[in-house]
Structure 1
Amino acid sequence: MSTHILNRIDPLKKQQDNGLDGGQGLSPMDPPDAYRPPNLDPVPKSAMHPFLRALIDEHAPLIDELNAFEEAIVATQKTGYSKESNASLMRFFRFFDRDFSRQSRCEEAVLYPLLRQRLMAAGEHGKGDSPGTATDAIRDGHAEAAQLAAVVVNFLGLVFRLPDERSRLVVLDAALEQSKNLVELLRLLIFRKHNVLYSLAHRLITTDEFEQLQSMGERSSKAN
C-alpha cells in the first residue's frame, strides 16, 4: 500500500486563491485531490503506540505556524512587502530551522531504519533495482522542504537590497510563490505521515520494538 499510495498523490496541484479556506474548509494552498488517495486505511491515533502519538502531537506547533505563515503570505500579496510583513514571514523560517529540522532528523534516525526494513520485508515498496518505500518518499519530502525554505529565505533577503522596484517585485513574487509551494508540501507531508506512514508503522512494528524506539527517541532529543 505505502509506495502505491504515495506515488498516486499529486503533492503540489495548485488551487486558485479564493481566501484562506476557499469555502471548502481547506486552504487555497492545499491540494484536495492529494488528500483522497485510493486504498487509504489510516489507524486512529488513539489505537497507536504512545511513540507514534507523540510524533503526531509534535506536528501541532508546525500546523499552527503554517496557518500563521499562510496568513502572512496572503497579507503580503494584498498590502505589499514591508519590514513588518518580512518579520511575519521570517518568524516561520526561524521555527522551521529550529523545530522542523530537529524533528525530521530525529524521526529519520530513530523510526525510519526499522520501518524501512519491515516495509521491504512486507513487499511494501516500489519496483526496480533500487525500490523505494514510504520512508524514502517522506525523507525526500523533508529534503525538498529544506531546499524550498532556503530558496525563499534567500529571495526575501534580496528584496530590500535590490535597487529598482521592478526587480524587487519580481523577486518578491517568486518568494511568495515558493512559499505557497512550501506550505502545500508541508501540509501534505503531515497528512502522509499521520495517515500512511504511521499507520504502516503501527501494523509492522511490535510493542516491544516501539518501546525501544521510544527510548532511542528520548536519547536523541536530549542530544539535540
Structure 2
Amino acid sequence: MNLDLKNLNKQDPLKRMVERQNETEEFSPMDPPDAFKPPTLDEMKYEEMHPVIQSLMDEHKVCNEAISDFENILNALHSDGFSKNTLEGINNFFSFFDESIIEHNRKEDNTIFAELNIILHSKEEFSTGTEKTVVDLMEDDHTKMLQLAAISFNLFGLVTRIPDEGSGMVILDLAVEQTKALIEMLKLHIFREDNVVFPIANNYLSNEVMDVMKD
C-alpha cells in the first residue's frame, strides 16, 4: 500500500480528535499540571551522585540517543513514506523500548524508587496538591509509557495490514500522534528523574543502602 504521507496531515479527519486527546492530562507531558512541576533544588552534578544513580543516568543517555534516532525516522516517514529504512527504524525503537526501557524502569522501581518512596511517605513529602510523592509520579509515568508504547506499536502494525489507503492513512496518523506523545513523555520523564528525583535520592539514601543495590 502506497500512502501519500506528505498530504497526510491535511486530509485526515481524525487528526483533530487526536489533537484534542493530546490536550488532556494523560497525553500532555510537555504542559503538566502544577502537581507535576518539580520543586526548586540545588543543582547536583553527575560526579556527586552515587555510582548506582550514575549508572541509571548513563542509561538515560542511551535512551535519549535512541529517541533522537527515532525522531529522525518519524521525519523520514512523513517525507519518504514506508521504506525498508523507516520500517527497520520503527521496529528498532520498539525493540529497544521492550528490551531496555522496560528493564530500566523495573530496575528503578525495585531499587532507588522502592527505598526512597518509604522515606518520602514517612516524611509526608508529597507533590503540591496531591498525596503522591515524586516517586509515585514517576512510577505512574512508567505505566503510561507502557500503555502508549503498546497503542503506538499496534497501530503501526495495523497500517501494513489495511488494504484501504484512506483507512491506512487515518491509522498511520494516529500511530504517529501517539508515538510523539510517548517520545515527549520519555524526554520529560528522563529530565525530571535526572534533575529532581535522583538528587533527592542521593541526599536521602545512605551510601550503605545504595551500595547494596550494586550487588
Q: Which residue of 1 aligns with 2:21?
A: none
By how many angstroms is 1:75 displaced? 1.2
- Tell me if the contact between 1:41 and 1:195 (Cα under 8 Å) persists in the aligned partners: no
The 3-state SS of whatever aligns with 2:214 is: helix
After superposition, the Cα gap between the structure-2 partners of 1:78 and 1:60, relative to the gap in structure 1 and judged at 3 Å, is same
Structure 2 counterparts to residues 32-43 of structure 1, below 5 A: 39-43=40-44
- Tell me if the contact between 2:63 and 2:101 (Cα under 8 Å) persists in the aligned partners: yes
By how many angstroms is 1:56 displaced? 0.5
The code of the aligned residue for 1:158 comes to L
Please give the TM-score of this superposition, normalised by the length of structure 1: 0.76
Q: Which residue of 2 aligns with 1:160?
A: 160
For structure 1, the 5+ residue unaligned runs are 1-6, 14-30, 216-224
For structure 2, the 5+ residue unaligned runs are 1-24
Structure with the bigger RCO (C-alpha within 8 Å, sep 6+) is 2
After superposition, the Cα gap between the structure-2 partners of 1:92 and 1:165, relative to the gap in structure 1 and judged at 3 Å, is same
By how many angstroms is 1:126 displaced? 4.2
Q: Deviations over 1:147-184 (max 9, x none)?
A: 11110111011112112111011100110111111110
By how many angstroms is 1:90 displaced? 1.4
By how many angstroms is 1:212 displaced? 1.7
By how many angstroms is 1:105 displaced? 0.8
By how many angstroms is 1:125 displaced? 1.2
By how many angstroms is 1:38 displaced? 5.4
- Tell me if the contact between 1:72 and 1:85 (Cα under 8 Å) persists in the aligned partners: yes
Q: Would you say 1:135 and 2:135 are equivalent positions?
A: yes
By how many angstroms is 1:64 displaced? 1.0
By how many angstroms is 1:85 displaced? 1.4
Q: Which residue of 2 aligns with 1:201?
A: 201
By how many angstroms is 1:127 displaced? 7.4
The code of the aligned residue for 2:30 comes to L
Q: Which residue of 2 aligns with 1:90?
A: 91
The code of the aligned residue for 2:206 comes to T
Structure 2 counterparts to residues 41-56 of structure 1, below 5 A: 41-56=42-57
Q: Which residue of 2 aligns with 1:27?
A: none
Please give the TM-score of this superposition, normalised by the length of structure 2: 0.79
Q: Which residue of 1 aligns with 2:75?
A: 74
Q: Which residue of 2 aligns with 1:11?
A: 29
- Tell me if the contact between 1:12 and 1:181 (Cα under 8 Å) persists in the aligned partners: no
Q: Which residue of 2 aligns with 1:213?
A: 213
The CA distance in 1 between the partners of 2:189 and 2:60, in whole Å, is: 10
Q: Which residue of 1 aligns with 2:20?
A: none
RMSD: 2.2
By how many angstroms is 1:197 displaced? 0.6
List, as ranges, runs of 4+ consecutive aligned residues in structure 1 with deviation greater than 6 Å.
Answer: none
Q: Would you say 1:109 and 2:110 are equivalent positions?
A: yes
The code of the aligned residue for 1:115 comes to L
May I ask how many residue pairs the two structures share in their alignment? 185
Q: Which residue of 2 aligns with 1:4?
A: none
Q: Deviations over 1:40-75 (max 9, x none)?
A: 433111111111111111122211110000110111
